[in-house]
Structure 1
Amino acid sequence: MRIFLGQGISIFTYLVIIIALLLYVIWGWPNEEAWLSLLETTYAQIPFGVWIVFVLAFISFGFSLNTLQKVRSQEKKIETSLRPLLAETFEPSKKKYTQTKRMQATVTQLEQLILTQRKTLQRITNEKAETQDRIIQERLVQERQRLARELHDSVSQQLFAASMLLSTMVEIEEAKNGEVPKTLMQTEKIVQQAQLEMRALLLHLRPAALHNKTLKEGLEELLQELQEKVFFTIRYRLEEVSLSKGAEDHLFRIAQETLSNTLRHAKATEVDILFVERDNLAIFRVQDNGVGFEVGEGKNGSYGIQSVRERAVEIGATCKVVSVPSQGTIVEVKLPIEKPVAQPINLEKITTAERSE
């Protein structure tokens, strides 16, 4: 009601102001001749001015009432349209609950699908990285083999020829004069040392893969080939030991590193190689009677020995280096062998079988 009266009075005031302004425009400033005629002129014994006020009041409050009715009508429509939504909000129906459960199940399936796709992408990425690493390793092996072939066919052959010529010259000088010049002897030693360095390098460049051979077979082939090219005695004792492919490859590379160090630094006349199995341990040992070195010196931490130790750690083995100056060096690697665990006997099954018999 207050809204109705307030709105009606406001509209009536605006209309009165508008009519007054119109009369001012027509008649000018209020005067007795024009403005008093509104009170003197009557219709049905009521002054014309009163009729104007009555009409304006009727229009104002009629418009206010009409507006109020429209607002109430819109409020009812809104309330009618919102009532079902409010009912669903505060009193969820069984259908609403079923739709929620279906939506949750769909979200769960999407999460599982995303997780599966993520794992697949990770697996593909890992496989791609492994493939690239394998390709790089294969290329490295091919390059090592190429370098080994070129060095063997060129530099190694030339050093061998130079060594043979120097040996012949030494024999001739010794036959003529009874002694050999020191410079000639030093040159022969330098060439022989260069041959040892070259053979050590070729040994280091040799592929570490055994190519479907056991470690014993690979070591035998390596040592037989080495015996034909060195000036010292090689003795070896090798046994068949059951090891994993990775362990055999690492031990073969350790053998290459150790023999390469012996060729370059030991100046030995005898080398003994041992590969046996004792007390569930695979034991690989290289022993020489060379110049040796102090264990506390820098040679003990040289690249070759350090590489051997790192490879031993990678396969869970222990590496021991013992060296005495002027007496020789021993490099020993021990690797625990994992034996297959025997399956326990099921006594219940045996008892049941005996009873059934």
Structure 2
Amino acid sequence: MKIVLGQGFSIFIILLALATLLLYALWGWPNDNAWWSLLETTYAGLPLGAWIIIVLAFMSFSFSLNTLQKVRDQEKKIESSLRPLLEAENSLPKNKKYAYSKRLHVTTNQLEQLILTQRKTLKRITNEKAEAQDKLIQERIVQERQRLARELHDSVSQQLFAASMLLSTMVELEEAQHGEAPKNLLQTERIVQQAQLEMRALLLHLRPAALHDKTLKQGMEELLLELQQKVFFTIRYRLEEVSLPKGAEDHLFRIAQETLSNTLRHAKATEVDILFVERDNLAIFRVQDNGVGFEMVDAKTGSYGLENIKERAVEIGATCKVVSVPSQGTIVEVKLPIEKSIEPVEIVKREELKDDSNIVSG
């Protein structure tokens, strides 16, 4: 029964998704004019939408029950095919019974091996299907993040920029005419500027975390050059090419995004320095600002952004240190050990040293 329910529910979800996609293709995005008719139109006292769900559920569980019944029928056929062989073995004389039993044993073993092979094949196909689905889901998530980032940048971000420019003009006119601008106008200007920073931090989060074919230095340079054109504070950076595994580069790039996003939203800094270098077999990434800072006790009680940074650092075997002083600024530093592979020349030299030592000892 559990198999029927589980399989039927999975099929129901797939059919419901297909029906939704079909309605979307016919009617477009959900709206009151078209989609509301699923609830307003009734048959036998039930809305049309409820009838669709009932029919899909009936089809799903009927298909699941039918499949299970076919499997059980097949098992019964196999059992009925083997039963005469066992009965025939019992009816044979003792001198022929051994040979017949041996043939039956070989046939049974072959059948068992065939079933085991089929099970392994089905398991492998299931795993490959699950991996493909996970990959497809991740690709769709990235595409959706990019779409949201584009729409926010083209609509809300542009409107905030226009509002900020308009308020700046009004403030300048008020100062030119009356010597100073009204406090409520200045406060509105600060709110809009903070909203711009929040929007840029959000767009920073929505950027793809993977570097694809770029190195970490190239990806960070592109990110920082884009930020320099959009923020109100000074960004200075020093980046070096450091050879790291692909996974470590992607995690460090995401750490950079998280750190800069926190700086945009909370630091209220006028200067930010970014460093990424290699020293003493360590890849060092550091972000330092001169913002408002915070008490380290408050950071331990639960900053979601800092916790994410620390977790990502641990996942790649790095250490993360956060130092902050109120009214003086914050430093976030990540150090990742670099594993150097032994060059072939070094191996040859070691072998030569071993040979020389053998000669001396001889």
Deviation digits for residues 263-302 of structure 1 (CA, Å, limit 9, x no counterpart): 0000011111111111222111111111111111157622
Deviation of 1:166 (Å): 1.0
Provide the rounded CA distance (Å) in 2 between the counterparts of 1:277 and 1:120.
Answer: 47
Within 2, Cα distance between the matches of 1:231 and 1:350?
Answer: 65
User: Where do 1:174-189 residues align within 5 Å?
Assistant: 174-189=175-190
Q: Report if the CA contact (8 A) 1:201-1:260 is conserved.
A: yes
Gap change, CA 1:106 and 1:238, over 3 Å in 2: farther
Could you tell me which residue of structure 2 aligns to residue 335 of structure 1?
A: 336
User: Which residue identity lines up with residue 183 of structure 2 in the other structure?
Assistant: K
* Residue aligned with 1:272, SS: strand
Change (3 A) 1:289 1:104: farther
CA distances 1:311-340 after superposition (whole Å, capped 9, x unpaired): 122222221111111111111111222222
Matched, 1:293 2:272: no
SS of 2:212's equivalent? coil
- Aligned-partner Cα distance in 1 for 2:284–2:164: 37
- Within 5 Å, which residues of 2 pair with 1:200-349? 200-297=201-298, 301-343=302-344, 344-345=347-348, 346=351
Structure 2 residue matching 1:332: 3-state secondary structure: strand
Q: In the aligned structure 1, how far is the partner of 2:144 from the partner of 2:165? A: 30
1:142-181, CA deviations, whole angstroms, 9 ceiling, x for partnerless residues? 1111111111111111111111111111111111111121
Q: Distance in 2 between matches of 1:251 and 1:224?
A: 18
Mapped to 2, the partners of 1:320 and 1:284 lie a distance apart of: 11
Cα distance in 1 for partners of 2:300, 2:163 equals: 31
Aligned partners of 1:293 and 1:299 also within 8 Å: no
Q: Given the superposition, is the C-alpha separation of residues 117 and 261 from structure 1 closer, same or farther in structure 2, using an over 3 Å criterion?
A: same
Tell me how large the CA RMSD over aligned residues is: 2.9
* Aligned partner letter, 2:170: M
Is the CA contact 1:294–1:300 (under 8 Å) kept in the aligned structure 2? no
Aligned 1:59-74 pairs, distance under 5 A: none
User: For residue 147 of structure 1, what is the aligned residue in structure 2?
Assistant: 148
Question: Partner of 2:162 in structure 1?
Answer: 161
Determine helix, strand or coil for the equivalent of 2:152. helix
Aligned length: 262
Structure 2 gaps, min length 5: 1-90, 357-362
- In structure 2, the residue matched to 1:127 is 128
Return the letter of the residue paired with 2:218.
Answer: E
Q: Which moved more, 1:111-120 or 1:305-314?
A: 111-120
Name 1:73's counterpart in structure 2. none
Cα distance change on mapping 1:172 and 1:348 into 2, 3 Å: closer
CA gap of 1:300–1:215, structure 2 versus 1, over 3 A, is farther
TM-score by length of structure 2 reads 0.66
Query: Superposed, which structure 2 residues align to 1:8-19 within 5 Å?
Result: none
Cα distance in 1, alignment partners of residues 96 and 133 from structure 2: 60
Higher deviation after alignment, 257-266 or 205-214 = 205-214
- Deviations 1:195-232 (CA, angstroms, capped at 9, x unpaired): 10011111111111212000100000000000000000
Output the CA distance in 2 between the equivalents of 1:284 and 1:259. Answer: 12
How far has the Cα of 1:120 moved from its partner? 3.1
Q: Alignment partner of 2:251: what SS?
A: helix
Q: Give the Cα–Cα distance (whole angstroms) in 1 for the partners of residues 342 and 115 of structure 2.
A: 41
SS for the counterpart of 1:312 is helix
Deviation string for 1:81-133 (max 9, x for gaps)?
x9x73x799xx8xxx6x985x87777666665555444433332222111111
- Which structure has the larger Rg over C-alpha atoms? 1
Q: 2:318 corresponds to which letter in structure 1?
A: A
1:41-75 residue CA offsets vs partner (Å, 9 max, x unmatched): xxxxxxxxxxxxxxxxxxxxxxxxxxxxxxxxxxx
Partner of 2:87: none
- Residue type at the aligned position of 1:134: K
Distance 2:354 2:303 in 1: 60
Tell me the TM-score normalised to structure 1 length.
0.66
Q: Is residue 240–residue 276 contact of structure 1 (8 Å, CA) maintained in 2?
A: yes
AA of the residue aligned to 1:143: E
Helix, strand or coil at the partner of 1:321? strand
